[in-house]
Amino acid sequence: MLPLPAQPPEPSVADLRAAPGDGRSLALYWTFYWAVAAAQLARWLPRRPSLVLDISGGRTGSAAQAAAAGHTVLEMLDPLVTPPGGDGGDTADGRVNGTAAPRLRPPPAPDLAGPPPAMASADPRRGGRAPRRSAAGVARRVIADSGSLACLRDASVDAVVAEDRALSRHLVTESTVAEIARVLRPGGRVLLSVDSLTLGMALLAEQSRWAHLSDVPSAEVLLVPWPDGTITRCFWVDQLRELLTDAGLEVEWIRPRTALSPSTVEHVLAGTPRALARLVRTELSAPVRDDSLGVHLLASARRV
């Protein structure tokens, strides 16, 4: 009997944190993932020029994409957190590209660093740093607490983007969502992503935390450790819906970020690299389902 051909090892759950080009597995899936995220954001953004608050943490291109779409963007970075390609941002308020930004109270911590070269450039006419600009809009980085949003006044922004699992990193998510509802103008919307219950259970199983896994069905709050020691808060659909509703937000929809599995995407793109655009269109046309499948959940809600 001939031996079975060797099978590639299954990627671990930890690989679901990897980003394209970092040498880890699932690189093709992550290329697809961020292409889907960009397409979803493009569909979601307001159609008219608006004031957008981005609390994704500087790790995604969401702020730049919103600015390119014609919006004025405040990209809020937590003190002591350095996003890729940069080392900080502005703390002063003022006018951005001729548009009045919401008045900022003093930040909760000092500005410990200057702006990243990729995001801002010297402006000798102002004697300081210019905001990042695009042909259509503008984005400015601000050092402030993205968990409390204490530097922003009530009803001061039109939209909030909390991508890249931002609300799963803020473990007291109820407080952050309440702050998002506070700073949104009536009719304003929030787009957010969180780690799903599916991912949390897979993490617990991979770490052989069987006692914790058995408690998941009855847990009101599911905090899961990653192998590197960081903690994430995971949600199932009903929990996320209740959290948003309790903050006074009207849920428009909740869906998995991607309905296509990582293994499916890897298989297709490994054989047909040009299939990326077709896969993204397939994902966008998939019906919105109220389930927790997929590693991340994406939600849109409106302030009533």
Cα–Cα distance measured from residue 19 to residue 23, given in angstroms and rounded to the nearest whole number: 9
Cα–Cα distance measured from residue 67 to residue 118, given in angstroms and rounded to the nearest whole number: 15
DSSP bridge pairs for 157:
184
Q: At 135, list the tokens.
A: 């042909």
Q: How many of the other CB atoms lie within 10 Å of CB of 253?
A: 11
Q: At 291, list the tokens.
A: 């389930």
Cα–Cα distance measured from residue 163 to residue 247, given in angstroms and rounded to the nearest whole number: 19
pLDDT, tens digit, for every residue of 85-130?
Answer: 554 454 433 333 333 334 333 323 222 222 232 233 333 333 334 4
Q: Which helix (H) or strand (E) holds 214?
A: helix 210-215
pLDDT at residue 280, rounded to an integer: 96
Task: Kindly give the residue spans of alpha helices, DSSP state H, lying in the chain.
Answer: 27-44, 62-68, 166-169, 173-183, 197-206, 210-215, 237-246, 262-271, 276-285
Which string of DSSP letters, residue by residue, matches 168-200?
HHSSSHHHHHHHHHHHEEEEEEEEEEEEEHHHH
228: left (phi over 0), alpha (psi -120 to 50) or beta: alpha
pLDDT, tens digit, for every residue of 215-242?
Answer: 777 777 888 888 888 899 999 899 999 9
The SS3 call for residue 9 is coil
pLDDT at residue 233, rounded to an integer: 93
Cα–Cα distance measured from residue 120 to residue 102, given in angstroms and rounded to the nearest whole number: 20
Alpha-carbon separation of residue 65 from 199, 216, 268, 277 (angstroms): 27, 37, 27, 18
pLDDT at residue 214, rounded to an integer: 74
Residues in the chain with pLDDT values less than 50: 1-9, 19-23, 87-88, 90-131, 133-134
pLDDT at residue 294, rounded to an integer: 80
Taking the chain, what is the end-to-end CA distance rounded to the nearest angstrom? 68
Cβ–Cβ < 8 Å for 295, 33: no
Cα–Cα distance measured from residue 64 to residue 32, given in angstroms and rounded to the nearest whole number: 19
When computed from its CA atoms, the radius of gyration of the chain, rounded to whole angstroms, is 20
pLDDT at residue 13, rounded to an integer: 56
Taking alpha carbons only, the member of 76, 81, 74 closest to residue 66 is: 74
Residues 6 or more apart in contact with residue 110 via CB below 8 angstroms: 79, 91
Which string of DSSP letters, residue by residue, matches 102-114?
PPPPPPSS---S-
Q: At 183, list the tokens.
A: 């700073």
Across the chain, how many H-helices and E-strands are there? 9, 14
Alpha-carbon separation of residue 22 from 10, 26, 27 (angstroms): 18, 10, 8
Parallel/antiparallel/unpaired status of strands 132-133 and 128-130? unpaired
pLDDT at residue 127, rounded to an integer: 35
pLDDT at residue 220, rounded to an integer: 76
pLDDT at residue 167, rounded to an integer: 94
Residues 6 or more apart in contact with residue 227 via CB below 8 angstroms: 14, 207
Q: How many of the other CB atoms lie within 10 Å of CB of 121?
A: 12
